[in-house]
Amino acid sequence: MKVTTEYLYFNTKKRQEFVRITDDLAGIVKKSGVTEGLMLVAAMHITAGVFVNDWENGLIHDFQVWLEKLAPAGLEYRHHQTGEDNADAHLKRTIMGREVTLPITNGALDLGPWEQVFYAEFDGQRKKRVVVKVMGE
Amino acid sequence: MKVTTEYLYFNTKKRQEFVRITDDLAGIVKKSGVTEGLMLVAAMHITAGVFVNDWENGLIHDFQVWLEKLAPAGLEYRHHQTGEDNADAHLKRTIMGREVTLPITNGALDLGPWEQVFYAEFDGQRKKRVVVKVMGE
Amino acid sequence: MKVTTEYLYFNTKKRQEFVRITDDLAGIVKKSGVTEGLMLVAAMHITAGVFVNDWENGLIHDFQVWLEKLAPAGLEYRHHQTGEDNADAHLKRTIMGREVTLPITNGALDLGPWEQVFYAEFDGQRKKRVVVKVMGE
């Protein structure tokens, strides 16, 4: 069995930004030499997430409008009494998800035709990290 | 270590439908010969999901009413400018989740007494696929 | 390869309560002897969840207010026609998530500086269980 660990780093220009990482992950599978197994991809920060969905700018816009409706910025969150101003980012990442686990089959990510993996930043403009763990044979 | 891969296929009669798949998954565990390990169950389409909850028709109805409230169909989503009409399905699947990972213990799915696994279709009436990856010994 | 299974038990005083379990999980990693691998942490009850977020009481309060807004108790849910009164707990747990998968690196949980793992109870005051499966080498 092989287990490998990689980290992806992000420092987005905007506070909220979705970054496609499918190709980075495909590269990590190749480098790992694993042909059958699982890949965990998880945000290491609690105001960011990882999700799988469509690579279509209109839908990415829709996601962001929708998240703002479900978990608005600028409310009087109790978390802000600590000096923070990002409670909404914690809530938004909860909707989108912290992590995905991807199957590796025949030496490649076993994804459907429209599946793309994204890093979802909700409190960016600073250095953030994603852990990628590959386990298999 | 063993790693096996199976696919489940769906073509639901209704646009939105929840299909119980616990027994299919239990069969895949047996077939795999794995007695201790993990099973990843993931939708391969971005308008469908996989989740664990109660096998009770009233609650399934409640879930669907609730999802319609949180992520309504028929709004003027920007995604629809591409000719699509299913932005709500992408959002609904995000709430319910793309995937679950299930423990395998003593040769069977290690689920609580009320845990049932469902395929959640939000844009059906066409062929869709779920990947099931078993890894363990 | 090693695979180990542990269960955590909860019986919360309040109906809704978030319990930090990071240290319990760190202990399970040590006990398992696994230095590189994955840990699945999953609620075995469908009115409870497991999530990763901030250990800050203000934010925990914000989460609970937010969940009450997105999935209110006391509505006329169809699930309640069975005699149950906890449909909101099923919905709330769906938002927060059933499970997390954590990476194990160099013999410890590979978590970001602010990541804390919580058990999220939405229908407590009774005995509940979480399964913890460690797989690796």
pLDDT tens for each residue of C106-124: 999 999 999 999 999 999 9
pLDDT for residue B50: 98
Q: Do B136 and C3 touch (CB under 8 A)?
A: yes
Q: Give the residue-averaged pLDDT of A114-135.
A: 98
> pLDDT category, C41, cuts 50, 70, 90?
very high
Angstrom CA distances, C56 to A95, B76, C118, C119, stand at: 19, 38, 12, 15
> Is there a contact between C125 and C14 (Cβ–Cβ < 8 Å)?
yes
Average pLDDT, chain C: 98
Burial per residue of B109-130, b for 16 or more beta-carbon CB atoms within 10 angstroms, e otherwise = bbbbeebbbbbbbbbbeeebeb
Q: Do B46 and A112 touch (CB under 8 A)?
A: yes
How close B109 gets to chain C, by Cα (Å)? Answer: 11
Number of neighbours of residue A36 by Cβ within 10 angstroms: 19
Rounded CA gap, C65 and A77, in Å?
10
Q: Give the residue-averaged pLDDT of A86-112.
A: 98
Q: Which residues of chain B have pLDDT under 70?
A: none
ipTM: 0.97
DSSP secondary structure of A6-33:
EEEEE--SSSSEEEE-HHHHHHHHHHHT
pTM: 0.98
> pLDDT category, C87, cuts 50, 70, 90?
very high
pLDDT for residue A70: 98
Half-sphere exposure of C107 (CA within 13 A, CB side): 3
Residue pointed to by tokens 């590959």: A134
Interface of B with C (CB under 8 A): 1, 36-38, 51-54, 56, 58-59, 61-63, 66, 70, 95-97, 100-103, 105, 110-112, 114-115, 135-137
Angstrom CA distances, C26 to B15, B110, C65, C125, stand at: 44, 22, 30, 26
% of chain C with per-residue pLDDT over 70: 100
How close B135 gets to chain A, by Cα (Å)? Answer: 7
